[in-house]
Chains A and B, each alone.
Chain A
Amino acid sequence: MNNVRFDLVRPLDLTFALAPDLLLMAGTMILLLASAWGAETSRRQRDVGRWSIVLCVLTLAGVVYMWWAGHTATRGVIAVDPFRWATDVLILLGAILAIALSMDYLEREHIDIAEAHVLILFATAGMMLLAAARDLMIVFLGIELMSIAVYVLAGLNRRSGRAAEAALKYFLLGAFSTGFLLYGIALVFGATGSTNIADIGAAILARNLATNAMLLAGVALLIVGLGFKVAAAPFHMWTPDVYEGAPTPMTAFMAAAVKAAAFAVFLRIWMEAFPYLNGAWHKPLWYLAVVTMVVGNVVALAQKNIKRMLAYSSIAHAGYLLVAVVVSNFEGASAYLFYVFAYTLATMGAFAVVMALAQTGERGQQIEDYAGLWRVRPGLSIAMAVFMLALLGFPIFGGMGFFAKWYVLQAALRPPSQTNLAIWVVLTSLISAGYYLYVVMVMFMKARPAESPSPLKVPGMTRFVIATCAIVLLVVGIWPRPVLRVARRSLPQLVHLSEELPRAPATQP
């Protein structure tokens, strides 16, 4: 291994440090031209989709190479560390699965827009930038690149009123939240004199800014902005409507990859820039996590539409992931990686099943429509049961989901121990059994009504996505060690400071 230490001041080094990202962006441009050039046919849509997957795989190879080579970098605008590469892998995994699903979806709905895949790639490029960002300006850039593409994706189906509503709602609220974020960045810059995350951390320590009002206001605004992106309650209001209205593959993409990227940057900022503000943000984040878990799980109980139910479930999972941010140490970071891997597979898989079972025009998405599904589509039902149990965090049958939740719990319980937070995780998980099991019960134990339409044939790509997600979940659920080891090693490199000085002790509300 010839690991290089990139000097990020030199343009060439910076270019190399961004190589996988640049590869993806360049490829995306070419695909954009390719899809704009020809006629809007189903065939072209599939071709572009295939090439998009190829591009993602190439980028993935680049990421894995960079990871394996073990390069590092000086303090600069981007990070070059295992945490970034691991997050990139998760994002690209989400993107590949989403593109595969949307190929089938667009064909079924007769939406021959090849640019859909290109938009997913753009969003992915923004997410990878987020994973790399070590400067608040790059964070902003990444969030914008990601969000604008996703706004369009939400409204992809022009014939659907719901999709238009979802896109508009997402766009307006998203723009609003970006305003919060930007204002927060400005205030933090005003207080510390830097947008670089490491420099902010150093400035807070050196100039003892822990009680600086401008800085604290900036941090609060950052929490609001990022809280919107990860769909934490009470900034979650857009989620159910957008998730329900958007095309199912795009919903899956939003629920998995967007959340993963936003959490990655959340963690990095909190671990590197604000460790010495612990006393100030700990309590608000603690309550944010608890409220998110409770609201997500309790409201999900009342949902009749499967996509809305999954939307609230994703809010609940944002709450569990916030626990990792509250903990905000290395254990939290590896818990995040492990959790998001499991969550991405389970969510992607669940939405894939939802997509496969919907009739043209996104009908048939009430949970009751799945009654007796087992008798006509046993494979799909078993896969869905696995995804539901994985989201519930059940061992063996839920595969990796159990270890993911266990990881979050144990991260919370290591000193400084957050016992109460762990108890909230367990209690809300118990509530979640109510709606996850309800889906299982409806599929397996209710009789199938005579008049219910028989489900469409499941297209190849969708079948591939469902099978992959279920099998990986189950295998890792029995043998979690390889993934665990990777997660434990893929830590963010905190430049210089955090290791040297003790953190302010966490307080328990």
Chain B
Amino acid sequence: MLELLADIGYQRWVLPALLIIPVVGAILIYLARIGRGRPDDIANAGGARVIAFVTLLVEFLVSVGLWWTFDTSRTTWQNVVMKPWIPEWGANFVVGIDGISLMMILLTTFIMPLSVLGSWTSVREKLPAYYALLLVLTTGMIGVFISLDLLLFYVMWEVMLVPMYFIIGIWGGERRLYASIKFFLYTMIGSLLMLVAILYLWIQTWQAGAPTFSYDALLRTIDVSRTAGLLLFGAFFLAFAVKVPMFPFHTWLPDAHVEAPTAGSVILAGIMLKMGTYGFLRFAMPLFPDAALSPAVRTTMLALAVIGIIYGALVAMVQPDFKKLVAYSSVSHLGFVMLGILALTLESVQGALMVMINHGISTGALFFLIGMIYERRHSRMIDAYGGIARVVPLFAAMLTIVSLSSIGLPGTNGFVGEFLVLIGSFRTQPIWTVIATTGVIFAAAYLLWAIQRILFQPVTHAENERLTDLNVRETVIMAALVIPILWIGIYPKPILDRMERSAAAFITLVGGSNADRSAGMRPGE
């Protein structure tokens, strides 16, 4: 397998190919002229979803090769492709991956075809546009995870914003206008500040005689005063904190998640939130370690992360709307990620990366399930259900497994990530960690209570008696998601191995000495 991939020069073209394939798919959808002249609904334009699914399946298969070709012994960038873009300004098309990007790419390419399947019957109008936007969105997200040039990164960061804005705004729920504009403006305020910070860094390199946007070059040469460092970190912080979302920048999230169509929620929660934490790991903290680790800043961020954990969980507990409940649970889960990143031990950072992956799978699965039941019953309210385990047993089984994984039951993926974060963080931040641990208990409370009210107890609404169980397509989606839930829960070592060097490199870049202190224990062995 490896030889075959080497023969076809896989490592030289795979990353650009991942960017191009979805765009080609989008163009194909346009060229196919599906259902032209007639209403582009499922009956006339169903071909669009087939093209989108096949394209994203190809994308997934192409990306899977990375899993094997990834060299766990190297700390440098892999599969680097570099082409001049605007050399006059020092901007180049530079892409490359490390262990963190690798897992984020695989998560993206894994979730995307599933989200096409998840939209199969729920999106009923303007199909070509919808699926074309999904494809363009894929390019933007992959681009964010592989860019090693700050201008390219910024462009990709904005590219993924527009398709999601349209997906929420056109195919969303009743309050979609409000939700989409809020989503757009929040993200844009943050990213414009980031643009200014990038511009500032670039002007510095320009004054030094060699203007460049190169991430590596900036990492080496960056030399800013303390105040400037704090301000620049603040700009990056805001851009990423909105995306994570950290308390108190999270208020766009419940609106966007709830109003978005199923695939939109899945992608938002599964992939797009990770861009915020990825931004911290890749850009904000390594570029400005002094600012990030200055006691006041670090304490503030830790406090916000832990507040996010507790607050998200508590607010989730009282939501009558199941989709909103899951949305708030995201705030809580991403708080763990931030805690792990800020604690700066090998376990905690690896744990944070695991939570990023797990949250993508589990919360994505939860949103899929909500979408499936919503299509049947047209309600997201918890009290509209009750006792449906007897009516739809397969759905109930899936919801239970996924919820347990989200809670972090040992044997499922959720346990691995949160456990690593907590034991890792305890070494450097014991107090915050102890407080954060209560979040795990709250998580059990709100999810178990919710599935109890949905699945068990007597059936109170007559229309629930006629619900149909998961069909083949839905079963395929859920099976695809449950497999990694169990696999990561039982044997996470391959994933941890691939991320270990990158996590250690991150700690070295940011904190230096912390890496040595905790390098002794390697979980999962």
| Interface residues of A, Cβ cutoff 8 Å to B | 378, 389, 394-397, 402, 406, 409-410, 413-415, 417, 422-423, 426, 429-430, 433, 437, 441, 444-446, 480-481, 484-485, 488
In the complex, are the beta carbons of A394 and B170 less than 8 A apart?
no
Chain B 103-158 interface residues, beta-carbon cutoff 8 Å to A: 129, 154-155, 158
Interface pairs (7), CB distance under 8 Å: A395-B154, A406-B199, A423-B196, A426-B193, A433-B185, A437-B181, A441-B180
- Max chain B Cβ within 10 angstroms of own Cβ: one of A437, A484, A488: A437
- Return chain A residues, CB-CB under 8 Å to B86: 480-481, 484
Task: With CB as the reference atom, state the residue of chain B lying closest to A480.
Answer: B86
Q: Which 7 A-B pairs have the closest CB atoms?
A: A445-B169, A395-B155, A395-B158, A413-B203, A397-B162, A396-B159, A481-B86
Query: Total interface residues on B, using CB and 8 Å?
Result: 32
- Return chain A residues, CB-CB under 8 Å to B181: 437, 441
Bound complex: CA A395 to CA B86 (Å): 14
Bound complex: CA A414 to CA B184 (Å): 30
In the complex, are the beta carbons of B88 and A488 less than 8 A apart?
yes
- Other than the given A430-B188, A445-B180, 8 more pairs (CB < 8 A) read A394-B162, A409-B199, A413-B203, A415-B207, A433-B188, A445-B170, A484-B86, A488-B88
Residue B192 interfacial (CB < 8 Å): yes
In the complex, are the beta carbons of A481 and B189 less than 8 A apart?
no
In the complex, are the beta carbons of A429 and B192 less than 8 A apart?
yes
- Max chain B Cβ within 10 angstroms of own Cβ: one of A394, A396, A415, A429: A396
In the complex, are the beta carbons of B177 and A441 less than 8 A apart?
yes
- Return chain A residues, CB-CB under 8 Å to B193: 426
Residue B368 interfacial (CB < 8 Å): no
Bound complex: CA A396 to CA B143 (Å): 13
* Residue from A415, A437, A444 in contact with B170 in the complex, judged by beta carbons closer than 8 Å: A444
In the complex, are the beta carbons of B196 and A437 less than 8 A apart?
no
In the complex, are the beta carbons of A414 and B203 less than 8 A apart?
yes
* Residue from A394, A410, A415, A444 in contact with B199 in the complex, judged by beta carbons closer than 8 Å: A410
Bound complex: CA A433 to CA B184 (Å): 9
Residue B206 interfacial (CB < 8 Å): yes
- Kindly provide the distance from the CB of B496 to the nearest chain A CB, expressed in whole angstroms: 36
Bound complex: CA A446 to CA B169 (Å): 9
Q: Is the interface of A mostly helix, strand, loop or mixed?
A: helix
Residue B85 interfacial (CB < 8 Å): yes
Residue B237 interfacial (CB < 8 Å): no
In the complex, are the beta carbons of A485 and B199 less than 8 A apart?
no
In the complex, are the beta carbons of B85 and A481 less than 8 A apart?
yes
Task: With CB as the reference atom, state the residue of chain B lying closest to A488.
Answer: B88
Bound complex: CA A396 to CA B160 (Å): 10
- Return chain A residues, CB-CB under 8 Å to B85: 481
- Return chain A residues, CB-CB under 8 Å to B87: 481
Residue B202 interfacial (CB < 8 Å): yes
- Return chain A residues, CB-CB under 8 Å to B159: 395-397
Residue B297 interfacial (CB < 8 Å): no
Q: What mask results when residues 175 to 202 of chain B are scored 1 for a CB within 8 Å of chain A, else 0?
A: 0110011001100110011011001101
Q: What mask results when residues 431 to 461 of chain B are scored 1 for a CB within 8 Å of chain A, else 0?
A: 0000000000000000000000000000000
- Kindly provide the distance from the CB of A440 to the nearest chain B CB, expressed in whole angstroms: 9
* Residue from A430, A445, A485 in contact with B189 in the complex, judged by beta carbons closer than 8 Å: A430
Bound complex: CA A453 to CA B88 (Å): 50
- Return chain A residues, CB-CB under 8 Å to B169: 441, 444-445
* Residue from A396, A414, A422, A441 in contact with B158 in the complex, judged by beta carbons closer than 8 Å: A396
- Kindly provide the distance from the CB of A29 to the nearest chain B CB, expressed in whole angstroms: 43
Task: With CB as the reference atom, state the residue of chain B lying closest to A389.
Answer: B162
- Kindly provide the distance from the CB of B126 to the nearest chain A CB, expressed in whole angstroms: 8
Residue B166 interfacial (CB < 8 Å): yes
- Return chain A residues, CB-CB under 8 Å to B162: 389, 394, 397
- Return chain A residues, CB-CB under 8 Å to B155: 395-396, 402
Bound complex: CA A413 to CA B207 (Å): 11
Contacts A394-B158, A396-B155, A484-B86: A444 and B166 contacting too (C-beta < 8 A)? yes
- Kindly provide the distance from the CB of B156 to the nearest chain A CB, expressed in whole angstroms: 9
- Kindly provide the distance from the CB of A389 to the nearest chain B CB, expressed in whole angstroms: 8
In the complex, are the beta carbons of B188 and A410 less than 8 A apart?
no
In the complex, are the beta carbons of A426 and B195 less than 8 A apart?
yes
Q: What mask results when residues 191 to 225 of chain B are scored 1 for a CB within 8 Å of chain A, else 0?
A: 01101100110110011000000000000000000
- Return chain A residues, CB-CB under 8 Å to B184: 433, 437
- Return chain B residues, CB-CB under 8 Å to A395: 154-155, 158-159
- Return chain B residues, CB-CB under 8 Å to A422: 196, 199
- Return chain B residues, CB-CB under 8 Å to A488: 88
Bound complex: CA A414 to CA B204 (Å): 10
- Kindly provide the distance from the CB of A113 to the nearest chain B CB, expressed in whole angstroms: 38
Bound complex: CA A433 to CA B195 (Å): 15
In the complex, are the beta carbons of A413 and B176 less than 8 A apart?
no
Bound complex: CA A422 to CA B199 (Å): 10
Bound complex: CA A444 to CA B166 (Å): 8
Contacts A395-B155, A396-B155: A484 and B88 contacting too (C-beta < 8 A)? yes
In the complex, are the beta carbons of A413 and B199 less than 8 A apart?
yes
Bound complex: CA A441 to CA B178 (Å): 10
Task: With CB as the reference atom, state the residue of chain A lying closest to B207.
Answer: A415
Bound complex: CA A433 to CA B170 (Å): 19
Task: With CB as the reference atom, state the residue of chain B lying closest to A396.
Answer: B159
Bound complex: CA A441 to CA B166 (Å): 9
Bound complex: CA A397 to CA B202 (Å): 23
- Return chain B residues, CB-CB under 8 Å to A426: 192-193, 195-196
Task: With CB as the reference atom, state the residue of chain A lying closest to B195.
Answer: A426
- Kindly provide the distance from the CB of B128 to the nearest chain A CB, expressed in whole angstroms: 10
- Kindly provide the distance from the CB of B166 to the nearest chain A CB, expressed in whole angstroms: 6
Task: With CB as the reference atom, state the residue of chain B lying closest to A409.
Answer: B199
- Return chain A residues, CB-CB under 8 Å to B176: 445
Bound complex: CA A429 to CA B158 (Å): 15
Bound complex: CA A378 to CA B193 (Å): 33
